[in-house]
Amino acid sequence: MKIVRFTLLSLGLFLSTASPAQDFSNNEQLQTFIQEMNQKHNFETDRLRQIFNNTRLHQSILDAISRPAESKPWHEYRPIFVTHDRTSGGVRFWREHRDALQRAEEKFGVPPQIITAIIGVETRYGRHAGRYPVLDALATLAFAYPPRSSFFRKELEQYLLMTREEDLDPLEQKGSYAGAMGMPQFISSSFRRYAIDFDGDGKRDLWGNPDDVIGSVANYFHKHRWKPGQPVAHKVRVHGKKYRQLLDNDLRASHTQQELLDNGVILPRNIPRDLKGNLLELDTGNGPEYWVTWHNFYVISRYNHSALYSMAVYQLSELIVAARNN
């Protein structure tokens, strides 16, 4: 907690001096970054200066990243993402893109409902893919958000490389306040590493091509070692007090089933014996709820390193399957 208080205090002091400026024309860190991009990747410095002269700092971005949805308790987080609208939208998306989803499952082993739920949670199937210029978002966070400036500076580098490789105008692309792009909200490094041309038209289009979006999400999970046919999570009961020692912030499935049983976790039957799990406690607003999460739950969390996010994706995927089968 001391680290968090210090970070927010430092950020508040920084923003009090940074907020009046709405451009980066006198930002020394940016000038250093431009020189680095020239030396490392042979970008023309004059061209980069011209680009960044049209880039703006957004206070709303700094405000948004300081209060992410993942900071909410589960009973407030779940109603944002696990909704009737996203469920019915998922059924429509699956129906409209059935062939691409089937092909993605055959090639990468990732079920259609998981791919669909990711796109539903991220952008409501493309309806809300972000309104900020990606360059503005990344520059704001790289040069005006000290807690994560190193990460976003790397993403800004990746973004400029990506737009050069894909022949895109860096000033024209829109995304989230954190610089995530397209229907699946890939950040720049993920785009370069995991986006694929799934329909063979020679482009990797995550903004307007659902086939590429579906294939890229499936590839992302495949590369993070999704295990076809294995479960994601099971709601469980607990007894005694020993189970509490299994609760931690590590999302890796690291406990053997015997270890879970010995600590008071009542597991469902017919789980493959070599499968390891993790115990998760969720605040329902009316008391705690317990889940054992398996390896594939951890894989979902590689998309967004949050247990709440992964559980929202999983529960939405289950609702989509149920609604589609009715």
Give the residue numbers marked as catalytic.
122
* DSSP state letter for 245: G
* DSSP state letter for 316: H
CA 268, distance to chain mean position in Å, is: 29
Tokens 């590590």, residue?
A: 250
The Cα 141–Cα 150 span in angstroms is 9
Q: Using DSSP, state whether 231 is helix, strand or coil.
A: coil
The Cα 4–Cα 43 span in angstroms is 37
- Give the E-state strand segments of 125-246 in sequence order: 132-133, 174-175, 233-238
What six digits make up the tokens of 199? Answer: 């329909």
Tokens 């999983």, residue?
A: 314
> Following DSSP, what letter does each residue of 75-106 receive, concatenated?
HHHHHHHS-HHHHHHHHHHHHHTHHHHHHHHH
CB burial readout 40-78, b (16+ within 10 A) else e: eeebeeeebeebbeebbbbeebbebbeeeeeeeebeebb
Phi, psi at 322, each rounded to 5°: -60, -45
At residue 9, what is the residue type? Answer: L
Task: Say if CB 246 and CB 255 are below 8 A apart.
Answer: yes
- The greatest distance separating any two alpha carbons of the chain, rounded to the nearest whole angstrom, comes to 67
Tokens 């105008």, residue?
A: 169
What six digits make up the tokens of 301? Answer: 């969390």
